[in-house]
Structure 1
C-alpha cells in the first residue's frame, strides 16, 4: 500500500501586505486568520471547510496533518505549513512536499496559473482576474466609507454570492495543483533536494536580526538629505521641481548649448547619461555639474532596501523570508526576496563602525562632514544592518574562485587544477601562461604586474565562450586595457585553456546528439538525455550533474539560430518580459549553467554540513554563507568544512575564506 496523499489550499486574511513584508510577517499579524481550508485526499473529490461559518477541519484530516505516513502537498507549501502552525494547527515540515518547488526543479515558473499554462492545462483568463479580485475583497482590509457602514473588513455576509464563488476558487486551486503534480511526478525531485528545501524554509522562518536603530537613523538621515539636496537644486536652477526630467532637461540644455548651435546637447537624463556626463566634468559648467551630482545622489535607490527591511521585520526585530529556494530557474541557485540580497551595494568605507554610530545618532551633519556623499554612505551601510542574535557573532565564509575551480575540474584543465592545489594565484598564473612571463615576475612593484589585470579579466569573462564583448562587460576598458588589445587577450586565453575550450563544443555536441537521436549521451561527469512522457506529452532536455541532480530545459526543439547554426531552443521565463517564451542556447551558455549548478551543489553540500554541526545559517548569497554563530565557533572550522572533499566530485579542490564580525559586511 503506497503512502496517502493530501493536497491542501488555504485562503487567509491579514492587514500586512504579503508582497512587501513577506509571508512570515504576514502570518504574524494580530489580525491574521484562516478563512477557508480546501483539501483533497488522494483522488477523492475536493472538500472545503469554511472557518467563517464556524465549520471545523474533520478529525481524520487533523490526524492526517500530523501523520508522517500521509504526504501533504500544496503549491508553495511553505505558506500552508507556516500559516496552519500560526493558527494552532500543528503539522511537521518534513511531511510536506511543495509542488511549486517541484515545478521550478523541472524548469517551469513559480506562479500556479503560469505553471498550469506552461504545462498545458486549459486556461481561463477571465477566471484569473476574478480570483484576484475576490482575494482583494475578502483577504485584505477595505477602506471604511459611509456606504459600507464604516467597516474595515468585507465578510461573507456582505456579499454571499462572491463568497460562494471564492469557495469554488479555493477548491479549483487544489484541482490545479493536483493536476500539475500528476504531470510532474513522472520527473521526481531527488530526496536530497527535498531536504534542502526544508532547510531553506526553516532558515527563512528563523530569520535574521536587523539593527533597528541603524534602519531608523538611515531613514531619518535620508529624508533630511533628500530635502536639502532638493532645496539646493531649486536654488541653483530656479525650477519648481528639479526632480522632473521635463523641467530639468531644458534647463541643462540651455546651459550646455553652444552659441552656434540650436540643437539639444542631451536627450535624456537617465542614470547612465548622468554618469557619462560626470565622467567629463571638465567640460561642464559648474552649475550643471553640481545639479547632475545632486540628481545622482537623489537617484540612489539602494536606500530603499532600508524601507524593505523596516517593512519586513517582525516584532522581534527579525526579517524572515529572504531567500527563494530554486529561484534561479536554470541552475537551481537560490534567489533573493524582499531585500534582494543578491545585489547589495559593496562597502569601501574604512571606518564602518564610526559611520554606523553617526547614523544611529541621526547625525546628518556628521555624516555629511566626514563622508561628503550622504546617500552613498547610507547605501554602503546597508549590509551592516544585518546583525547576529544577542550573544552571538556572524561567521561569514565564501568559496574562493569557485567557478574557475569547477570549470577546470569538469574540463580536466590540468595546469589550472595544479594552481588551485598549490599557491592558488589563478589571475597571476593565467597571465603567466598567456604572456609567457615567469610567475614570480608578476608581483607588485614589477612592470609585469599590469599583466595580472589581463589575467584576471580573462579568467572572469572568458570561461563560457565569451569574446571581446564579454571582456568589455566585465569592465576590461575601465582597467586601462585598450579595445585593440581585446581580441589578442581572447585568443591567448583560449590557447592557454584548450580543455575548457573543448568542453564548450563537447557539451554542445552531446546536447545536439541527445536531441537528434533521443539516446542519452555521456561525457565525463554529465549525462544529456531527452526525457518525456506519452500520457501528457511533456518533454525536457535534461543534464544529469555529478551530484545526481538534473537540469531541465522544457519543450526543447532544434532549429537554426540567428547565426544560421543548428541550435537547441527551449521554453523559459524571459528575463525582460517575465513571460513564458522560447529562447535558444549554445555550448558556452550550457557550460555556464552546468558550472554554476555544480557550484550551487557545492554550496548545498556545505549548508548540509553546517546544519549537521547544529549551527544556524541565516542567509547565503551566491557562494557565501552567513552563520549566526555562538562565540566559540571559529572561522577556521567553517573554512575547513568548505574545503572538505565532496564525495561526488573526486579531485575538485575547494577553498573557503572568511571573517567574523558583529554585523554583515563585504570583507
Structure 2
C-alpha cells in the first residue's frame, strides 16, 4: 500500500518546547493552521482549516494506510487530539500505521532534525530556512488584548507563505524517506513500544510538586539572605558569580571561576587557609544553582490534566540505541539511598500533600534541619524528585534495575573470565563484592582486609576505567562518588610497591596531560589506572582488537572482520558494527587517516615517532554533525552500552507480555504501574523476568533487583 506523508503547522499559547506535544494538544487555544500531505508519488496537497475535506487522505488513514512524518508522534497527537475536536468523524491515526523518518535517522546515528538530516544525506530537497522563521513567529500569539482576546499572525499572505514552508517540509521528508533505510521488523516493534510508553505517561504527585515549586522559591530567597550575611553584603545573590569570585580573591585565595569542576579545589585551598567562610559560600552557591530543583517547575509545565506527564522518552536518542529523557529529563534525577533517607522524604511529602502552606513547610524543614548542610531544603528537594512519581489510586509501581550491567557485558564480550566467575559467585552469595575484589586485585592484597575507603577506590576504578579511561576519567567519576584525588595519595603510596611509585612518578615531567594535578596526586591516579588495566588484560586487549577491526573493515569494504562475537564491515558508505542481537551500529562516511605521532618511551624517556591509522566518521555530537575519531575505548563503550540496551529491550517485551505496562525506562531500569489486587504481578515475578538471558546472550551473568511501592523510590 502507498504511504502518505503528513506535516502540520500549528499555533498555541502554550510553549511546545516546555510542555511537550501532549500537554500542548490539551490547550484549548492550540489549533492547526493546516497541513500538507502527499500520498505515494501523487502531487503534494495542502489543507487549511475550513477547506473541503481531504477525502483521499481520510480514506487512506481509515483503510490503515501508512502515515509517515518526521517526529510522527507530533502529527499523530495533533491529528487525534486537536484536529478531531473540529472533525470528530475523521479517522484516528494509530501508532501501528505510522512510520517516522526521525526514528529511522536515529537508528543509523544521523541528525534527528529534518534540516540536519537533509544536509547529512545530501538530499536534493532541503528545509526552507526563511519559512522556518515565519513558522516560529506564527506558532505564537502576536499579542493579548486587554479583554483577553488573542491576536494571531493570521493575515492571508502569512498563512499562504506558511503553507509553502509546510509544502517544502513534505518535499524534504519524502526525499529523506527514500534515502533512509527502513527500521528492521524488530526495531519497528521497539519504536511502537516506545510510542505506547510515551502515550501512557508517568503519574506524578501534582499537589506536592506544585507546593514544591513555591518551596524552591522560598529556599532560594533564604539562600540569598544567607549569602549576604556570610559575605557582609558583598554578594547580593547566590547567582552573582563575579562578586563571589571577587570576594574569594579578596580573602587571599586565588579564584578565576566557581564552576562545578573547580569547586572542590577551591574548598581544598580554603581548608589549607583555615577559611570556613569560603567553603560555606561555595556550598551555598552550589545548592542554590542546582538545576535539579528547577525540574519541579518543569513538571508543572508539562503535566497533563489527568496528572500524567507524557512524551518523556526519545527513541534511539543515543547512537547506541539507548533512550534519552525529554521534558523533565528523569535520567538526570539524583539517585539517593532511600533506605537511609526515605523517612525524611515521606515526612516532607506528607506535609506537601497536606493543607499546610509552602511557607509553613519551609519553616518546619529549616527548624528541624537548618538552612545549610546535607539536609538543607534545596538539597533535600533535589534528592526528593524521584519520589514525586506516585502511583495513581488503586495501583502500585513495580520497577527493576539491572545490576552493573555494563561491567558484566564488558567482561562477557572481552572474555575476562576471572571477572565473570566473580560476578557469578557474588550473585550466588558465595563470592566477595566486586569493588572489594577490584581493589584487592589492583594491589595484590587479601580481599578480607579491604576497608570501606579502599572499596570506594575500587568502585571508581570499575566504573571509570572500562572504556580506556585514564586519570581524567577517574577524576570525573570520583567526583560523582565523593572520591577526591587529593585524598588518594597516601593510601595509594602505602599500598603500591616503592619501585612502582618511583617509576610512575618519574614519568610526570613528560606526561602529555597532567589534568591539573601535582606530581603525587597524578602518580597515585596513574597507578590506579595501570593496576586496573593489569588486572583486566582481556578487556584492555578488546580495545585494540575493536580498533584494529574497524581499520581493517574500512580498508577492505565488503569483508567482515570478527572480534569474538562482534563483527565489523564497511559497505563503502558506512562502517557497520554487528551486535550479538543482530542489530547494527552505524558510523557514517568512514575514512582512514594516517598520521605520524610522537610518544615518550616509558623506559628511556626519549621522544620517538610512529605511524598511526585512525578511522574518522561523521557523527552527531554537542549539537553538531561533525567528523569524529573512532578509537578502541569509544568502540568498546558503544558496543557495551548497545548490548545492554538490547538486553533491556528484550526484557521490556517480556514484562509487557506478562502484564506489566511499562511507563518509563531510565538507564538500565524499568518502571511499570499495575492495578492493585493482582497477586501474580509482584516484584519477585518482575525480577525473575528481568533476569532471563536473551537467546543470543547465554553465558552472560545477568541479575536485577526489583521493588514495589506507591512512589518511585529506587
TM-score for the superposition, normalised by structure 1: 0.89
- For 2:619, the equivalent position in structure 1 comes to 572
Alignment check: 8 A CA contact 1:237 1:251 kept: no
- List alignment gaps of at least 5 residues for structure 2: 85-89, 371-375, 428-432, 490-520, 598-610
Structure 1 residue corresponding to 2:291, chosen from 268, 285, 301: 301
- For 2:136, the equivalent position in structure 1 comes to 136
Q: Describe the shift of the 1:23–1:274 C-alpha distance in structure 2 as closer, same or farther (beyond 3 A).
A: same
- For 1:38, the equivalent position in structure 2 comes to 36
Whole-Å separation in 2 of the counterparts to 1:44 and 1:63: 15
Q: Describe the shift of the 1:388–1:531 C-alpha distance in structure 2 as closer, same or farther (beyond 3 A).
A: farther
**Alignment deviations for residues 141-171 of structure 1 (CA, whole Å, 9 cap, x no partner):** 221369xx99623254x2x222211111111
Alignment check: 8 A CA contact 1:615 1:629 kept: yes
The secondary structure found in structure 1 opposite 2:150 is coil
Q: Offset of 1:284 from its aligned partner?
A: 5.4
The 5 A counterparts of 1:160-559 are 160-184=156-180, 187-235=181-229, 236-239=231-234, 241-242=236-237, 243-254=239-250, 256-257=251-252, 265-282=254-271, 283=273, 285=275, 288-328=278-318, 330-348=319-337, 349-351=341-343, 352-360=345-353, 361=356, 362=358, 363-372=361-370, 373-424=376-427, 425-437=433-445, 441-443=446-448, 446=449, 451-475=454-478, 477-478=483-484, 480-482=487-489, 483=521, 484-518=523-557, 519-532=559-572, 539-559=573-593
The 5 A counterparts of 1:116-135 are 116-122=118-124, 127-128=128-129, 130-135=130-135
Q: Describe the shift of the 1:490–1:18 C-alpha distance in structure 2 as closer, same or farther (beyond 3 A).
A: same
- For 1:57, the equivalent position in structure 2 comes to 54
- For 2:63, the equivalent position in structure 1 comes to 67
Structure 1 residue corresponding to 2:646, chosen from 597, 601, 612: 601
Alignment check: 8 A CA contact 1:140 1:153 kept: no
Whole-Å separation in 1 of the counterparts to 2:182 and 2:554: 21
Alignment check: 8 A CA contact 1:303 1:379 kept: yes
| 2:107 aligned with 1:105 | yes
- For 1:96, the equivalent position in structure 2 comes to 98
Whole-Å separation in 2 of the counterparts to 1:275 and 1:492: 26
Q: Offset of 1:119 from its aligned partner?
A: 1.0
Whole-Å separation in 1 of the counterparts to 2:268 and 2:112: 41
The 5 A counterparts of 1:17-36 are 17-36=15-34
Q: Offset of 1:612 from its aligned partner?
A: 1.0
Whole-Å separation in 1 of the counterparts to 2:421 and 2:315: 34
**Alignment deviations for residues 288-328 of structure 1 (CA, whole Å, 9 cap, x no partner):** 55544432332222110001101011111111111101111
Q: Describe the shift of the 1:222–1:481 C-alpha distance in structure 2 as closer, same or farther (beyond 3 A).
A: same
Whole-Å separation in 1 of the counterparts to 2:282 and 2:534: 45
Alignment check: 8 A CA contact 2:461 2:529 kept: yes
Q: Offset of 1:339 from its aligned partner?
A: 0.8
How many positions carry a matched residue from both structures? 632
Alignment check: 8 A CA contact 2:118 2:126 kept: no
Q: Describe the shift of the 1:304–1:603 C-alpha distance in structure 2 as closer, same or farther (beyond 3 A).
A: same
Q: Offset of 1:356 from its aligned partner?
A: 2.0
**Alignment deviations for residues 431-473 of structure 1 (CA, whole Å, 9 cap, x no partner):** 4444444xxx534xx4566653443332222222223333233
Structure 2 residue corresponding to 1:620, chosen from 637, 648, 665: 665
Alignment check: 8 A CA contact 1:395 1:634 kept: yes
Alignment check: 8 A CA contact 1:397 1:626 kept: yes
- For 1:536, the equivalent position in structure 2 comes to none
Alignment check: 8 A CA contact 1:442 1:452 kept: no
The secondary structure found in structure 2 opposite 1:620 is strand
Deviates more, 1:587-596 or 1:424-433: 424-433
**Alignment deviations for residues 538-581 of structure 1 (CA, whole Å, 9 cap, x no partner):** x1111111111110011111114695621111111222xx1111
Whole-Å separation in 2 of the counterparts to 1:442 and 1:590: 32
Whole-Å separation in 1 of the counterparts to 2:286 and 2:420: 44
TM-score for the superposition, normalised by structure 2: 0.83
- For 1:652, the equivalent position in structure 2 comes to 700
Alignment check: 8 A CA contact 2:295 2:328 kept: yes
- For 2:517, the equivalent position in structure 1 comes to none
Q: Describe the shift of the 1:528–1:274 C-alpha distance in structure 2 as closer, same or farther (beyond 3 A).
A: closer
Deviates more, 1:115-124 or 1:654-663: 115-124
Whole-Å separation in 1 of the counterparts to 2:38 and 2:418: 58
Q: Offset of 1:663 from its aligned partner?
A: 1.0
| 2:683 aligned with 1:635 | yes
Deviates more, 1:10-19 or 1:173-182: 10-19
The secondary structure found in structure 1 opposite 2:435 is helix
Q: Describe the shift of the 1:562–1:281 C-alpha distance in structure 2 as closer, same or farther (beyond 3 A).
A: farther
Q: Offset of 1:400 from its aligned partner?
A: 0.7
